[in-house]
Amino acid sequence: MHRTLLSLCLLLVASTSALSAADAAKPNVLFIAIDDLRDWVGYLHHNEQTKTPNIDRLAKMGTAFTRSYCAAPVCNPSRTALMSGMRPSTTGVYGNETDWRKIVPEDKPLTASFRKGGYYVCGAGKIYHESFKRDSEWDDYLTKEGGGKAENKLSKNAKDGGVGGIRFAPLDCQDNELEDYAIADYGIEQLGKKHDKPFFLAVGLHKPHMAWNVPQKWYDMFPLESIQLPPYKEDDLSDVPPAGVAMAKPNGDHKNILDSGRWKEAIQAYLAATAYTDMNIGRLLDAFDKSAYKDNTIIVFWCDHGWHLGEKHHWRKFALWEEATRAPLLWVVPGLTKPGTVCDRTVDFMSIYPTLMEVCGLPKPAHLEGPSIKSLLENPAAPWTTPALTTHGFNNHGVRNEGWRYIRYANGDEELYNESADPNEWTNLAKDPQHQAIKDELAKSMPAENAKVPNKEKGKTEKTPEMKAKRKEKKMQKGKEPAEG
């Protein structure tokens, strides 16, 4: 009896030790999310005015992707898709007003897979769209970010709060008075703690989401007289079909900016907000370098979508062109990625969830709709044929491969751009019959079925993004500021 009990105890101790050893071997994950950061970062060389030394530093630590695209050019659907592993066309989460929690069960998200895998799951800031939080997904989450009052401490150099719905102003405050500083602090604190289990640490920074209100010194880094406007063609929308023009809304934000004569000021503000976020990323990386977890932690750096600053007479996201859909993606995977490598393959952010499962040795859930890009982390030049797919609203899709972008709207309108010859997407080739085969090939990546927009309330159907855009435009014309995701 005693011998049997002793054997059982020894077996239990051995099993527990084996589990502990297995957990210790699992890599940690530092999951960095940035809001509204487009391709204006140093390593992409798309706008040489930008100053992002810390993002560029992170890019040199592993593999930097040059053609990486969001699943949706809107905060809520983009983040829901990335975190759930299911595309907007599957969930029906197309806009910022849809409560994804009613559609995505709690056992589906990325956080659930890590918790099932024995991870401590914690985070701070904006990971999901902040109108809909599900605290039960996390073992710990920062609840008080602060910073709200500091956003209103305008500098003596601020003219006002911006132009219409495009909000920006330099501030008379310190860096640590804004919420992103506290969010980065949370990540720094977690990296300095002793963890008994492998951790999944999510850090979601808000800037450069509007308002682009950051301390004056960040504006001073970009003298107004040196600001250059993005590539712009006055008649850019002349060959864009009606559905595309409706998304551009040239008589909304863009007209307001042109009428105000403050286009360069808005560019300056976006660059300043980006530089502020880069500083917080640097603080996080400094803590990472000093931590005990440096050699066994995967870093994934992603942004929810891009942003237009006047290209195609459009501002904000909410469109299917390059500026709204392209965003930075960086991976550092110990033992897999090589420092300073660059991948020019075309990927979208639906690849993040399955790739993390594979590189962390966790089971891949059956519901995931994106491919793992582990082969590209091993060899950035490896063969790759899967294009990137972006969806904006019901049955509006853009497909991007290394050479082309094809957009097809719900009403059948089309756009096709030769990205090699026309990187600014100034010439729509969709009506040229010699390119029919290209359109047909790219169309294969568009979903065969598109989920309907979920009911917001019983008996009521939520307005589509197009309907909401028209409503926002009317508000702007009346001087009312539209809501931003």
Q: Name the residue among 301, 428, 354, 395 with its Cα closest to residue 41.
A: 301
The pLDDT score that the predictor gives to residue 145 is 83
Please spell the DSSP secondary structure of 459-480, one letter per residue: TEEPPPHHHHHHHHHHHHHTTP
Query: What are the residue boundaries of the structural domains of the chain, listed by start?
Result: 27-384+459-477
The predicted pLDDT at position 420 comes to: 96
Residue-by-residue DSSP string for 392-451: -STT-EEEE-SSEEEEE-TTS-EEEEETTT-TT-----TT-GGGHHHHHHHHTTS-S--P
Model confidence pLDDT, tens digit, residues 398-436: 999 999 999 999 999 999 999 999 999 999 999 999 999
Residue 206 catalytic?
no
What pLDDT shows up at residue 131? 84
Catalytic residue of the set 46, 70, 129, 308? 129
Strands 308-309 and 199-205: unpaired
Task: Say which of 46, 70, 75, 360 is annotated catalytic.
Answer: 75
Fold for the domain defined by 27-384+459-477: Alkaline Phosphatase, subunit A (3.40.720)
Active site residue 313: no
| Residue 365 main-chain phi, psi, to 5 deg | -60, 145
Q: What is the pLDDT of residue 471?
A: 53
Label the pairing between strands 199-205 and 28-34: parallel
Mapped onto helix, strand or coil, the DSSP state of residue 28 is: strand
Which one-letter amino acid corresponds to residue 393? G
When pLDDT is cut at 50, 70 and 90, the band that residue 14 belongs to is: very low
When computed from its CA atoms, the radius of gyration of the chain, rounded to whole angstroms, is 23
What was the pLDDT predicted at 457?
A: 38
